Chain A
Amino acid sequence: MIKVEDVHKGFGNEEILKGITTTFDRGKTNLIIGQSGSGKTVLLKCLIGLFKPERGKIYYEDRAIQDMGDQEQRDLREEIGMLFQGGALFDSMNIEENVMFPLRMFTKQKKSEMLARVNEVLKRVDLVDVNKKFPAEISGGMQKRVSIARAIVNKPKYLFCDEPNSGLDPRTATLIDTLIQEITHEYDITTVVVTHDMNSVMEIGEKVVLLKKGKLVWQGTNQEIFKTENEDVTNFVYSSDLFKKIRDVQIKEA
């Protein structure tokens, strides 16, 4: 579990996060949603330690990241898997080397053991016969899956995903969402996904946190999000024509 307590973060004179307090539960896909500029990615970067909050604390289980020494923070990061928006695969390495990278860095396994684990996770994300290909030679959806494989290869306790289905066609986007949720349950890890995609909210939002202008305005499940009367939620959810039409049909039928 990750606990966020009154986190503030700004750049220059502009305050981006204005006192966020919430928890991200273990074994669930926790979604951070909101419009562009609402502070989702900044919150994610604070969670993984790329940004330091000016105020407030972030707890991994009982350990506050701010109170950790350098070594302790490095140890914590070994427990973190991250799926970046663009995949962030290393261009100079082939797929096998990319996925093997965390194992080479942090374990003392033999090459054959590492290779077995790499093939296991690549199979888990439905990728076969791509080991020797380079990131530029595979599609965007496959790159995302490789990135997921790299994120989980060292059996992390925490998985972070920054807009995992951006730039993907709806079918591939759904596959990626489903894969993230399955992995979360299978490995019993704490997963935090930043997205503004309502399909993701519907499919995998076991806990949803809505940010608006750096403030947390609502949190609940994907079932509750369509029932709430909260104006910020309805403005966000029904900004999509599709969802507006679905609501109109539901009202009509009622």
Chain B
Amino acid sequence: MKYLEDIGSYFLMIKKVFGSFTKRSVLKHLIFKEIDDLIIGSLGIVIFISFFVGGVVSIQTALNMDSPIVPKSLIGFATRQSVILEFSPTFISIIMAGKVGSFITSSIGSMRVTEQIDALEVMGINSLNYLVFPKIVALMFYPFVIVISMFIGVFGGYVAAVYGGFANAGDFIEGVQQDFIPYQLFYAFFKTTVFAFILATVPSWQGYYMKGGALEVGKASTKSFVWTSVLIIAANYIITQLLLS
């Protein structure tokens, strides 16, 4: 019963987010601020993780190729497929659930605890639109982060394969270009957009409706990470089933 109530309250929140808009000039300022906090502020960690995980995928593939008749280009092919289809869209999103999700929940939760949200409401401002809408818009730029992650991931694979002595540059690049299906990019970016919406709204919901004090803000952040990750994994399965099978 509690879960049904929570689902209902989540969708009611979404409805309120898109009702009674904040003044345009203020909203524009808030959106740029959120892009800076949520998107630009995440690039460092995304680039770091993507480079090394791309490298590890490449090394793992190379080490598991026992047969001499399997072409070395498979290393590039496997790295590209792993990075584009799963690693960048899904696993970077799980990492973002920890980084961005916890930030959103704790910042909105702190505003709830210190009555800042009440202050907005008393002024006649739709606090959900003011706080959550800019985050949704900012996270619609999230696919650009994933593009960077894909590029850096494949580049990391290239560095590991070529400078680790597992394949030469020509073989790796040939593998990266082999059997490329553009629809798979559409699939990757479609699910990235869905994950972006989950990343913006689920942590906001956890923060906005939390009750209590500082301890509860911490608990809400943890809960937010768990639920955002669960929903991303579930959505990933459903989208994959619908778009690829």
Chain A residues within 8 Å of B26, by CB: 104-105
The 0/1 profile, CB within 8 Å of B marked 1, for residues 48-89 of chain A is 111000000000000000000010011111101010111011
Contact among B25, B110, B111, B122 with A82 in the assembled complex (CB-CB below 8 Å): B122
Chain A residues within 8 Å of B116, by CB: 88-91
Q: How far is the CB of B243 from chain A (nearest CB, A)?
A: 39
Q: In the assembly, what is the distance between CA of A160 and CA of B123, in Å?
A: 12
Chain A residues within 8 Å of B111, by CB: 90-91
Chain B residues within 8 Å of A104, by CB: 23, 25-26
Interfacial residues, chain B to chain A (CB-CB below 8 A): 20, 22-23, 25-26, 110-111, 114-116, 118-119, 121-125
A102 at the interface (CB under 8 A from B): yes
Contact A50 to B121, CB < 8 A, known contacts A104-B26, A105-B23, A105-B26: yes
A77 touches B122 (CB 8 A): yes
Q: How far is the CB of A77 from chain B (nearest CB, A)?
A: 3
Chain A residues within 8 Å of B123, by CB: 77-78, 80, 82, 101-102, 105-106
Chain A interface helix/strand/loop/mixed: mixed
Chain B residues within 8 Å of A84, by CB: 115, 118-119
B110 touches A91 (CB 8 A): yes
Chain A residues within 8 Å of B121, by CB: 50
Chain B residues within 8 Å of A49, by CB: 122
Instruction: State which residues 76-124 of A face B: CB under 8 Å.
Output: 76-78, 80, 82, 84-86, 88-91, 101-102, 104-106
Contact A48 to B122, CB < 8 A, known contacts A86-B114, A88-B114: yes
Chain A residues within 8 Å of B114, by CB: 86, 88, 91
